[in-house]
Structure 1
Amino acid sequence: MANTWNTDNAGVSALASGDFDGDGHDDLALGECREIADENIDDPCGPEEFAKGGGIHVHYGNATPGSFGYRQQTLNQDTVGVAGVAETGDRFGAALAVADIDNDGRDDLIAGAPGEAIGTRAGAGAATLLFGGPTGLVDAWGEGHSVGYQQDTPRVPGVAEAADAFGAAVATGDYNHDGKADVAIGSPGENAGSGGVWLLPRASVNGSSAFTPAKLGLPSPSSALAYGRYLSSQ
């Protein structure tokens, strides 16, 4: 599993490293990219048009040790093939995690969008699985390949509600010990801030389950626990 970490950098909310194009060299993804207002500062997040609603900017590594950025890609929810539509406040890429979900030898990227509105339910949240390929997370035609998840997705437990913040944290690991990567998604706003964590075996909605403080038997009151605000990949 590749490493993931977070930062309070003014332009980037999350970072993740993985080999998205399968060339044997790690690549670096910057999440929830926003335009830096000062035009004299080099914006690590790419073009201004990707600032709305967040985005992901990928710097691809090469054979030079410690070298990133010889090739770059930027994508958001308006990129063809990426689930959803870019809207102000979506916070697409606010959390990132990496694993080779489809076992093709290339890492895939899980991106949270905790500010995503589901219908009229502001801040319900969503998450997107972006598949790696020969050219990385975006193919030669400028298209992404992805699967979207939210609490109104069939076979995903629960109901999308305003301020659930589903996707505020994401992680990967072999949680059911079957030798394959699974996905965990945090929703700290669930149940009026009590929170919850969703487990998707092999990133599939089939067999998905949700864990909340009440289900785990945590002592009351469980409100404002924000369970699922932080997750760690294995």
Structure 2
Amino acid sequence: MFMPISPWPDRQIETWLAALDHTDPKELRRNFGQRPLRRWKNTHPNHRSFTVVHHPVARAYDVFCRHILPIKDDRYAELRRGLRRVHNLPLPEHPDDPPLSTTQLRACFCEFLKFLKFNLAGQTALRVDGAWASQSQIIQGFCKFAPPHMIVRAETLEEDLKLLTQQVGLTWYAPPSAPPPQGPALAEIYDAELETLARKAYAADYTNFGFKPLEI
């Protein structure tokens, strides 16, 4: 059973799970309630559950490019206004605004990471969105309902999933390649300052999962 952590796309894992079951990803069971989950576990005594954690810089940048930069994402319109007005993020405001330069993009992402530090500490008026909540806190929430047997790291996904299939005696299928990230490549702006800002915002995730600086 896969327990996804927002906001990362799940298609890669869903395709892999469907291959194990020789079925279509659309046929996978989803959104278990407590009673159906207990019933499923009781009828699958050799079950395993897992989740996947991603490097905090890569995850925050994915959120930034997926939800904060796009003007067309109305779900985050109010949040973008707050980031512009209160936290001085130089975000595009109108569809005809020119795209950010690499320098502007990096500066904007820096400010977003600074915002996350205060937001995750409950020191802003803006909500803590599930898309950027601490992975440690999300997994703690899982544990109240159904603790995962394995925490898989995105950078070692294939070898970790291979170990998982060996444990339950399933035929191994390599997962498909991850979908390309949204927005400009993180490698264009990544540096030690971004790493430091992410470490301040996601201190618990760095401590709990032992993340090192990105190698990109």
TM-score by length of 1: 0.20
Q: Which has the higher helix share?
A: 2
TM-score by length of 2: 0.21
